């Protein structure tokens, strides 16, 4: 990953755009502080399926994006108590108020 000052980027913009097009990422600095990054567009961000922040973290290697969930992987469980029973148990536990 390259870092380039704002003035140099302005003077040689076409060259840096070619580098980005080839897959490189370029950090833009202003007085030594990174203020922006130039990189190729990310496919997941274009599709709108993932928030941009997650895509950025994945691009930096700070997280791994998992596969989509499948409903069949999570079977529906039967109720542990009949409807209304939990409320009755709470009332018994709390006692009269």
Residue 88 lies in a domain: no
Residue 79 lies in a domain: no
pLDDT tens per residue across span 23-74: 899 999 999 999 999 988 765 444 567 887 888 888 888 898 888 788 888 8
**How far from chain centre, in Å, is Cα 55?**
4
Structural domains of the chain, count: 1
Residue 67 in tokens: 């596969």
Residue 58 lies in a domain: yes
Nearest in space to 2 (alpha carbons), one of 23, 10, 42, 11: 23
Q: Give residue 21's domain range.
A: 1-64
Q: What is the DSSP string of 62-87?
A: S----PPP-GGGSPPPPPSS-TTHHH
Identify the CATH number of the domain in which residue 17 sits.
3.40.1620.10
pTM listed for this prediction? 0.47
Residue 55 lies in a domain: yes
């Amino acid at each position: 990953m390259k870092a380039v000052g704002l003035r140099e980027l302005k003077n040689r913009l076409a060259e840096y755009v070619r580098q980005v097009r080839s897959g490189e990422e370029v950090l833009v600095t202003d007085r030594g502080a990174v203020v922006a990054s130039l990189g190729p567009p990310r496919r997941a961000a274009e599709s709108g399926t993932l928030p941009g922040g997650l895509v950025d973290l994945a691009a930096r290697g700070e997280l791994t994006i998992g596969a989509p969930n499948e409903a069949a992987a999570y079977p529906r469980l039967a109720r542990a108590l009949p409807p209304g029973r939990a409320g009755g148990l709470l009332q018994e536990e709390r006692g009269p108020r």
